[in-house]
Amino acid sequence: MTDKGELDIVFGASSAIAGALIQRWQREGLRPILAVTRSAEALNDALDPSRVQVETSDYSEAALSALAARLVSAQTNVARLVVCNGVLQGADYRPERALAQIDSTAMHTVFEVNTFLPMRVLSAMAPLLKTSVAPIVAALSARVGSLGDNHRGGWYSYRASKAALNMMLQCLAHELVRVNPSAKVVAYHPGTVDTPLSKPFQAGVRPETLLQPDQAAEALDAVLTQVVADGTLSYVDWRGKPIPW
């Protein structure tokens, strides 16, 4: 852990996008990285322990609060914090194509990972976000969470969980600007990335628009570099283009 220094933090570090982002930041060598994951064994073996510290977490309130307390005690200055946790489907559930397919257990799981977990993370990290010099906070949202861009319907739980995440991030942006005007919050759509999450749905994706994880990491890094602390939430895609609410 850094002592009174800057730190980049990635939650959901074992996902494909997060792993590529961590490796990219590791190569840049701008500052130490904290990679938070449920299982350290799922992380890429190429990570340099002198640059990347791995923290295993079950993402419970207790675990996240303990992590935040250690970071606060070390007077950590968060430069970039990215939450990459997300889920689209599981072993026994799929995105709903019709209202009759809604299952309360599956819906709860999707909201837990896509909405509640990221907000638990950000709630625990709030003391750091309020005191860091110019923190950039990003959570992986999705274009399908946009009401204005919803022209086909379906995917009830996934769409709604991302829309709910966007609303909570908007609340966070309003709160942070009052205590730390230099902070910036981003709801980020990474595009369609060649990952296990999107694999079952890639048939209708044009090859030139399917991003590899390293391309997705490059795009995310570029967006985070370009955003400006303006007191608002930016809801943007991987090209930096705004998405309608």
* pLDDT of the residue at 134: 97
pLDDT of residue 5: 85
pLDDT reported for residue 1? 42
Report the C-alpha gap between 98 and 210 in whole angstroms. 26
Q: What angle do CA 91, 196, 142 make, to 5 degrees?
A: 100
Angle value at C-alpha 140, between 237 and 138, nearest 5 degrees: 90
Q: Is the dihedral of CA 47, 48, 49, 52 positive or negative?
A: negative
pLDDT of residue 96: 96
Instruction: Find tokens 């969980």 and name the residue.
Output: 161
Q: pTM of the prediction?
A: 0.93
Distance of CA 217 to the CA centre of its chain: 12
CA distances from 34 to 7, 77, 89, 113 (A): 7, 12, 27, 20
How would CATH label the architecture of 6-237?
3-Layer(aba) Sandwich (3.40)
**Chunked in runs of 10, what are the mean pLDDT values of the chain (245 residues)?**
75 95 95 95 84 96 98 97 95 94 97 98 97 97 96 97 98 97 98 75 67 95 97 97 97
- Dihedral of alpha carbons 67, 188, 147, 179, sign: positive
111, 145, 138: which is closest to 244 by C-alpha?
145
